[in-house]
Amino acid sequence: MIISGPSGSGKGTVVKQLNPDKGYALSISVTTRKPRVGEQHGRDYFFTTEEDFHTMRQENNLLEHFFYVGNYYGTPRKYVEEQISQGKIVVLEIEVNGALQVKEKFPSAVLIFLMPPTHTELENRLTKRGTEDTGTIEARLKQALEEVPLIHRYSYLVINDVVQEAVAKIDAIVAAERMKPIRCSAEIDKFLNN
Ligand code: 5GP
Mean pLDDT of successive 10-residue segments in the chain (194 residues)?
89 94 97 95 96 98 95 97 95 96 94 91 84 85 86 94 96 96 94 94
Pick the atom of ligand 1 nearest to 74's CA: 19
Work out which ligand 1 atom sits closest to the CA atom of 45. Answer: 16
Q: Please tell me the pTM assigned to this model.
A: 0.92
pLDDT of residue 141: 86
For ligand 1, residues with CB inside 6 Å are 7, 11, 29, 33, 64, 66, 68, 73-75, 93-95, 98
pLDDT of residue 8: 80
Please identify, by atom number, the ligand 1 atom nearest to the C-alpha of residue 27. Answer: 19
At 134 the pLDDT is 87
Quick one: pLDDT at residue 86?
96
- What is the full DSSP assignment across 42-103? TTTBEE--HHHHHHHHHTT-EEEEEEETTEEEEEEHHHHHHHHHTT-EEEEE--HHHHHHHH
